[in-house]
Amino acid sequence: MYARIVIYSSAQRNHASRRPDGPCRRSRRALAALALAGLTASLLAGIAPAAEAQWRFSASPAAAAWYAAVDSLRLAGHGPFPLVRSKGEPVSSLGRGIADERFEILHFVPLYFPSATSSALADAVDDAAGNATPRAPRSQFAVGAIRRALPDAADRRRLAELAALARRIAPPPLAPAQLAAWQAAWDSRFAAALAPFLAGQRLDRGVALVVPSLGAEGRVFAGVPADRSDNLIAVGVPLNAADIDGPLYAAVRELCFPLVSRVAESTPAFRRAAGAGREAARRASLAAVRCGADLLDRVRPSEAAGYRRHWSTALGGPPSAFDQLYPPDTLLSPRLRAALQRFAAPP
Protein backbone atom coordinates (compact mmCIF):
# COMPACT_ATOMS: atom_id res chain seq x y z
CA MET A 1 0.00 0.00 0.00
CA TYR A 2 1.14 3.45 -0.77
CA ALA A 3 0.94 6.58 1.31
CA ARG A 4 2.51 9.86 0.82
CA ILE A 5 3.03 13.16 2.46
CA VAL A 6 2.08 15.03 -0.17
CA ILE A 7 0.89 11.98 0.82
CA TYR A 8 1.39 8.65 -0.97
CA SER A 9 2.17 4.76 -0.44
CA SER A 10 1.62 0.96 -1.08
CA ALA A 11 -0.56 -0.48 1.56
CA GLN A 12 -1.79 2.95 2.10
CA ARG A 13 -4.49 3.14 -0.29
CA ASN A 14 -6.67 6.02 0.41
CA HIS A 15 -4.78 8.02 2.93
CA ALA A 16 -1.24 7.10 2.48
CA SER A 17 -1.47 3.95 0.64
CA ARG A 18 -0.82 2.13 -2.48
CA ARG A 19 -4.01 2.55 -4.16
CA PRO A 20 -3.95 5.13 -6.86
CA ASP A 21 -7.06 6.43 -5.22
CA GLY A 22 -6.20 5.28 -1.78
CA PRO A 23 -6.27 6.87 1.56
CA CYS A 24 -2.59 7.29 1.53
CA ARG A 25 -2.57 9.49 -1.41
CA ARG A 26 -5.32 11.71 -0.37
CA SER A 27 -4.03 11.86 3.13
CA ARG A 28 -0.56 12.76 2.15
CA ARG A 29 -1.73 15.52 -0.03
CA ALA A 30 -4.07 16.74 2.62
CA LEU A 31 -1.35 16.55 5.22
CA ALA A 32 1.45 18.10 3.25
CA ALA A 33 1.22 21.25 5.32
CA LEU A 34 2.05 19.29 8.44
CA ALA A 35 5.31 18.16 6.91
CA LEU A 36 6.60 21.55 5.89
CA ALA A 37 8.63 21.86 9.04
CA GLY A 38 10.43 18.64 8.24
CA LEU A 39 8.55 16.84 10.99
CA THR A 40 8.60 13.45 9.37
CA ALA A 41 12.28 13.71 8.58
CA SER A 42 13.07 14.42 12.20
CA LEU A 43 11.01 11.43 13.27
CA LEU A 44 12.90 9.12 10.96
CA ALA A 45 16.14 10.23 12.51
CA GLY A 46 15.08 8.69 15.80
CA ILE A 47 14.03 5.29 14.56
CA ALA A 48 17.41 3.57 14.36
CA PRO A 49 21.10 4.21 14.86
CA ALA A 50 22.93 5.93 12.04
CA ALA A 51 24.36 3.51 9.51
CA GLU A 52 26.15 3.54 6.21
CA ALA A 53 23.35 1.60 4.53
CA GLN A 54 21.08 3.77 2.46
CA TRP A 55 18.10 1.59 3.33
CA ARG A 56 18.17 0.33 6.91
CA PHE A 57 16.28 -2.82 7.90
CA SER A 58 14.93 -2.26 11.36
CA ALA A 59 12.37 -3.41 13.91
CA SER A 60 10.01 -1.15 15.84
CA PRO A 61 8.34 -2.40 19.03
CA ALA A 62 5.61 0.21 18.55
CA ALA A 63 4.87 -0.90 14.99
CA ALA A 64 5.01 -4.54 16.05
CA ALA A 65 2.47 -3.98 18.83
CA TRP A 66 0.17 -1.87 16.66
CA TYR A 67 0.10 -4.31 13.76
CA ALA A 68 -0.28 -7.27 16.12
CA ALA A 69 -3.40 -5.56 17.48
CA VAL A 70 -4.72 -4.97 13.96
CA ASP A 71 -3.88 -8.57 13.09
CA SER A 72 -5.77 -9.89 16.12
CA LEU A 73 -8.89 -8.19 14.74
CA ARG A 74 -8.44 -9.87 11.33
CA LEU A 75 -8.40 -6.59 9.43
CA ALA A 76 -6.97 -8.17 6.29
CA GLY A 77 -8.45 -5.64 3.84
CA HIS A 78 -10.04 -6.22 0.46
CA GLY A 79 -7.11 -6.35 -1.95
CA PRO A 80 -5.36 -9.27 -3.64
CA PHE A 81 -2.94 -9.57 -0.70
CA PRO A 82 -3.83 -9.57 3.00
CA LEU A 83 -2.77 -6.54 5.00
CA VAL A 84 -2.11 -8.72 8.05
CA ARG A 85 -1.35 -12.37 8.62
CA SER A 86 -4.76 -13.41 9.93
CA LYS A 87 -7.41 -14.26 7.38
CA GLY A 88 -11.16 -14.49 7.55
CA GLU A 89 -13.81 -12.08 8.69
CA PRO A 90 -13.37 -9.90 11.82
CA VAL A 91 -14.70 -11.76 14.83
CA SER A 92 -15.11 -8.93 17.38
CA SER A 93 -17.45 -5.97 17.43
CA LEU A 94 -14.43 -3.66 17.30
CA GLY A 95 -13.02 -5.47 14.28
CA ARG A 96 -16.31 -5.36 12.45
CA GLY A 97 -16.73 -1.69 13.34
CA ILE A 98 -13.42 -0.60 11.82
CA ALA A 99 -13.24 -3.03 8.89
CA ASP A 100 -14.74 -0.43 6.57
CA GLU A 101 -12.38 1.11 4.02
CA ARG A 102 -12.67 4.54 5.56
CA PHE A 103 -10.56 3.19 8.45
CA GLU A 104 -7.70 2.12 6.20
CA ILE A 105 -5.49 4.85 7.58
CA LEU A 106 -5.15 2.65 10.67
CA HIS A 107 -2.89 0.44 8.58
CA PHE A 108 -0.40 3.31 8.31
CA VAL A 109 -0.40 4.81 11.78
CA PRO A 110 3.08 3.57 12.82
CA LEU A 111 4.55 5.06 9.64
CA TYR A 112 3.18 8.48 10.58
CA PHE A 113 4.96 8.40 13.96
CA PRO A 114 8.02 6.19 13.37
CA SER A 115 10.02 7.32 16.39
CA ALA A 116 7.22 6.47 18.84
CA THR A 117 7.46 4.03 21.69
CA SER A 118 4.52 1.66 22.02
CA SER A 119 2.93 3.80 24.70
CA ALA A 120 3.54 7.05 22.79
CA LEU A 121 1.89 5.62 19.68
CA ALA A 122 -1.13 4.52 21.70
CA ASP A 123 -1.26 7.98 23.31
CA ALA A 124 -1.27 9.58 19.86
CA VAL A 125 -4.19 7.43 18.76
CA ASP A 126 -6.04 8.30 21.96
CA ASP A 127 -5.38 11.98 21.28
CA ALA A 128 -6.67 11.60 17.72
CA ALA A 129 -9.82 9.96 19.05
CA GLY A 130 -10.69 13.16 20.91
CA ASN A 131 -10.14 16.82 20.30
CA ALA A 132 -7.32 17.50 22.74
CA THR A 133 -3.96 18.93 21.78
CA PRO A 134 -1.49 16.09 21.10
CA ARG A 135 0.53 15.28 24.19
CA ALA A 136 3.78 14.80 22.28
CA PRO A 137 4.91 17.40 19.72
CA ARG A 138 6.26 14.63 17.50
CA SER A 139 2.84 13.00 17.35
CA GLN A 140 1.20 16.00 15.67
CA PHE A 141 1.53 14.61 12.18
CA ALA A 142 -0.03 11.26 13.10
CA VAL A 143 -2.83 12.87 15.09
CA GLY A 144 -3.57 15.29 12.27
CA ALA A 145 -3.53 12.53 9.67
CA ILE A 146 -6.01 10.41 11.60
CA ARG A 147 -8.36 13.31 12.27
CA ARG A 148 -8.36 14.35 8.63
CA ALA A 149 -8.97 10.81 7.44
CA LEU A 150 -11.72 10.26 10.03
CA PRO A 151 -13.48 13.60 10.47
CA ASP A 152 -16.48 11.97 12.15
CA ALA A 153 -15.93 12.04 15.92
CA ALA A 154 -18.03 8.89 16.32
CA ASP A 155 -15.66 6.99 14.05
CA ARG A 156 -12.63 8.24 15.93
CA ARG A 157 -14.01 7.18 19.29
CA ARG A 158 -13.55 3.56 18.23
CA LEU A 159 -9.82 4.17 18.09
CA ALA A 160 -9.51 4.31 21.87
CA GLU A 161 -10.39 0.60 21.99
CA LEU A 162 -7.75 -0.22 19.41
CA ALA A 163 -5.15 1.83 21.28
CA ALA A 164 -6.00 0.00 24.50
CA LEU A 165 -5.59 -3.33 22.70
CA ALA A 166 -2.19 -2.28 21.34
CA ARG A 167 -1.07 -1.31 24.87
CA ARG A 168 -1.75 -4.86 26.07
CA ILE A 169 0.21 -6.57 23.30
CA ALA A 170 3.96 -7.14 23.43
CA PRO A 171 5.03 -9.34 20.49
CA PRO A 172 8.37 -11.12 20.78
CA PRO A 173 11.12 -9.04 19.16
CA LEU A 174 12.82 -10.07 15.97
CA ALA A 175 16.23 -11.57 16.53
CA PRO A 176 18.95 -8.94 15.97
CA ALA A 177 20.97 -11.55 14.07
CA GLN A 178 18.11 -12.02 11.60
CA LEU A 179 17.78 -8.30 11.01
CA ALA A 180 21.53 -8.09 10.49
CA ALA A 181 21.35 -10.93 7.98
CA TRP A 182 18.63 -9.18 5.97
CA GLN A 183 20.61 -5.96 6.07
CA ALA A 184 23.77 -7.68 4.85
CA ALA A 185 21.86 -9.42 2.07
CA TRP A 186 20.24 -6.18 0.92
CA ASP A 187 23.52 -4.28 0.96
CA SER A 188 25.45 -6.97 -0.92
CA ARG A 189 22.81 -8.17 -3.38
CA PHE A 190 20.35 -5.32 -4.01
CA ALA A 191 21.57 -1.89 -2.93
CA ALA A 192 24.04 -1.07 -5.69
CA ALA A 193 21.90 -2.59 -8.44
CA LEU A 194 18.80 -0.67 -7.40
CA ALA A 195 20.57 2.63 -6.70
CA PRO A 196 19.95 4.27 -10.12
CA PHE A 197 16.26 3.41 -10.01
CA LEU A 198 15.84 4.55 -6.42
CA ALA A 199 17.66 7.80 -7.14
CA GLY A 200 15.30 8.43 -10.03
CA GLN A 201 12.34 7.86 -7.73
CA ARG A 202 13.77 10.08 -4.96
CA LEU A 203 13.92 7.02 -2.72
CA ASP A 204 17.65 7.16 -2.15
CA ARG A 205 17.45 6.41 1.55
CA GLY A 206 14.93 5.22 4.09
CA VAL A 207 13.96 2.69 6.73
CA ALA A 208 12.48 -0.74 6.06
CA LEU A 209 10.50 -1.96 9.06
CA VAL A 210 10.15 -5.74 9.28
CA VAL A 211 6.92 -6.63 11.09
CA PRO A 212 5.98 -10.32 11.49
CA SER A 213 2.23 -9.67 11.80
CA LEU A 214 1.96 -7.97 8.41
CA GLY A 215 0.59 -9.90 5.47
CA ALA A 216 1.96 -9.92 1.93
CA GLU A 217 0.64 -6.39 1.40
CA GLY A 218 3.27 -4.05 2.73
CA ARG A 219 3.23 -0.33 3.38
CA VAL A 220 5.06 2.54 1.71
CA PHE A 221 5.28 6.08 2.96
CA ALA A 222 7.16 8.55 0.77
CA GLY A 223 7.47 11.63 2.90
CA VAL A 224 8.65 15.16 2.22
CA PRO A 225 9.45 15.20 -1.54
CA ALA A 226 12.45 17.49 -1.07
CA ASP A 227 14.05 15.04 1.37
CA ARG A 228 15.32 12.00 -0.52
CA SER A 229 15.87 10.11 2.75
CA ASP A 230 12.41 10.69 4.23
CA ASN A 231 10.94 7.33 3.25
CA LEU A 232 9.53 4.36 5.12
CA ILE A 233 8.39 0.93 4.08
CA ALA A 234 7.01 -1.90 6.19
CA VAL A 235 7.10 -5.55 5.14
CA GLY A 236 6.07 -8.81 6.72
CA VAL A 237 7.83 -12.09 7.33
CA PRO A 238 6.58 -15.08 5.28
CA LEU A 239 5.10 -17.97 7.21
CA ASN A 240 7.22 -20.31 5.11
CA ALA A 241 10.55 -20.42 6.93
CA ALA A 242 12.27 -21.49 3.72
CA ASP A 243 11.41 -18.11 2.17
CA ILE A 244 14.19 -16.43 4.10
CA ASP A 245 14.57 -13.65 1.52
CA GLY A 246 10.87 -12.79 1.60
CA PRO A 247 11.31 -9.37 3.30
CA LEU A 248 13.87 -8.39 0.65
CA TYR A 249 11.60 -9.29 -2.24
CA ALA A 250 8.71 -7.56 -0.50
CA ALA A 251 10.85 -4.44 -0.17
CA VAL A 252 11.58 -4.40 -3.91
CA ARG A 253 7.87 -4.43 -4.65
CA GLU A 254 7.14 -1.70 -2.12
CA LEU A 255 9.81 0.52 -3.64
CA CYS A 256 8.13 0.13 -7.02
CA PHE A 257 4.78 1.30 -5.71
CA PRO A 258 5.31 5.08 -5.91
CA LEU A 259 6.18 4.72 -9.60
CA VAL A 260 3.15 2.53 -10.26
CA SER A 261 0.97 5.00 -8.41
CA ARG A 262 2.18 7.94 -10.44
CA VAL A 263 1.77 6.07 -13.72
CA ALA A 264 -1.76 5.00 -12.76
CA GLU A 265 -2.73 8.54 -11.83
CA SER A 266 -1.31 9.97 -15.05
CA THR A 267 -2.92 7.42 -17.37
CA PRO A 268 -6.44 8.64 -18.24
CA ALA A 269 -7.37 5.37 -19.94
CA PHE A 270 -6.53 3.48 -16.75
CA ARG A 271 -8.55 5.84 -14.59
CA ARG A 272 -11.52 5.46 -16.92
CA ALA A 273 -11.25 1.68 -17.06
CA ALA A 274 -10.44 0.95 -13.43
CA GLY A 275 -12.23 3.81 -11.73
CA ALA A 276 -11.11 5.05 -8.36
CA GLY A 277 -12.01 2.19 -6.05
CA ARG A 278 -11.02 -1.37 -5.33
CA GLU A 279 -10.47 -2.34 -8.96
CA ALA A 280 -7.92 0.42 -9.45
CA ALA A 281 -6.21 -0.59 -6.20
CA ARG A 282 -6.19 -4.26 -7.20
CA ARG A 283 -4.65 -3.59 -10.59
CA ALA A 284 -2.04 -1.22 -9.17
CA SER A 285 -1.15 -3.75 -6.48
CA LEU A 286 -0.57 -6.52 -9.01
CA ALA A 287 1.25 -4.14 -11.37
CA ALA A 288 3.68 -3.26 -8.57
CA VAL A 289 4.63 -6.94 -8.25
CA ARG A 290 5.18 -7.14 -12.00
CA CYS A 291 7.18 -3.91 -11.94
CA GLY A 292 9.54 -5.38 -9.33
CA ALA A 293 10.16 -8.43 -11.52
CA ASP A 294 10.83 -6.30 -14.60
CA LEU A 295 13.16 -4.10 -12.57
CA LEU A 296 15.20 -7.05 -11.30
CA ASP A 297 15.34 -8.54 -14.80
CA ARG A 298 17.18 -5.39 -15.85
CA VAL A 299 19.41 -4.59 -12.91
CA ARG A 300 19.80 -7.81 -10.90
CA PRO A 301 18.81 -10.84 -12.99
CA SER A 302 20.22 -13.28 -10.44
CA GLU A 303 17.47 -12.26 -7.99
CA ALA A 304 14.58 -12.29 -10.46
CA ALA A 305 13.77 -15.99 -10.16
CA GLY A 306 13.65 -15.86 -6.35
CA TYR A 307 11.45 -12.77 -6.52
CA ARG A 308 9.03 -14.53 -8.87
CA ARG A 309 8.89 -17.60 -6.63
CA HIS A 310 8.14 -15.47 -3.59
CA TRP A 311 5.29 -13.57 -5.22
CA SER A 312 3.82 -16.64 -6.91
CA THR A 313 3.56 -18.25 -3.49
CA ALA A 314 1.98 -15.07 -2.08
CA LEU A 315 -1.09 -15.69 -4.26
CA GLY A 316 -1.14 -19.39 -3.47
CA GLY A 317 0.26 -20.50 -6.81
CA PRO A 318 3.16 -22.78 -7.69
CA PRO A 319 6.57 -21.13 -8.09
CA SER A 320 6.34 -21.34 -11.88
CA ALA A 321 2.98 -19.52 -12.13
CA PHE A 322 4.21 -15.93 -11.96
CA ASP A 323 3.28 -14.91 -15.49
CA GLN A 324 -0.19 -16.39 -15.12
CA LEU A 325 -0.76 -14.73 -11.75
CA TYR A 326 0.74 -11.37 -12.71
CA PRO A 327 0.17 -10.79 -16.43
CA PRO A 328 1.23 -7.39 -17.77
CA ASP A 329 -1.45 -4.75 -17.27
CA THR A 330 -2.38 -3.63 -20.77
CA LEU A 331 -2.62 0.03 -19.72
CA LEU A 332 0.10 0.33 -17.07
CA SER A 333 2.83 -2.08 -18.12
CA PRO A 334 3.97 -0.28 -21.31
CA ARG A 335 4.50 2.97 -19.41
CA LEU A 336 6.16 1.18 -16.50
CA ARG A 337 8.59 -0.58 -18.81
CA ALA A 338 9.44 2.74 -20.42
CA ALA A 339 10.08 4.23 -16.98
CA LEU A 340 12.36 1.36 -16.03
CA GLN A 341 14.37 1.82 -19.20
CA ARG A 342 14.85 5.42 -18.24
CA PHE A 343 15.77 4.89 -14.60
CA ALA A 344 17.42 1.51 -14.51
CA ALA A 345 20.45 0.93 -16.66
CA PRO A 346 20.76 -2.68 -17.85
CA PRO A 347 23.62 -4.70 -16.37
d(CA 261, CA 38): 24
β-strands 55-58, 206-210: how paired?
A: parallel
pLDDT in tens, 276-328: 788 999 999 999 999 999 999 999 999 999 999 999 999 999 999 999 999 99
pLDDT in tens, 214-273: 999 999 998 777 788 889 999 999 888 889 999 999 999 999 999 999 999 999 999 898
Mean pLDDT, range 108-126, rounded to an integer: 95
Task: Give the mean pLDDT of the chain.
Answer: 84
pLDDT in tens, 219-233: 999 877 778 888 999
Whether the full predicted model's pTM is greater than 0.75, yes or no, is yes
Residue 257 has a pLDDT of 95
**Which residue, 280, 56, 10, is CA-closest to 186?**
56
Query: b vs e for 44-82, b when ≥16 Cβ sit within 10 Å of the residue's Cβ?
Result: beebbeeeebbbbbbbbebbbbbbbbbbbbbbbbebbbb
d(CA 182, CA 53): 12
pLDDT in tens, 95-116: 999 998 889 999 999 999 999 9
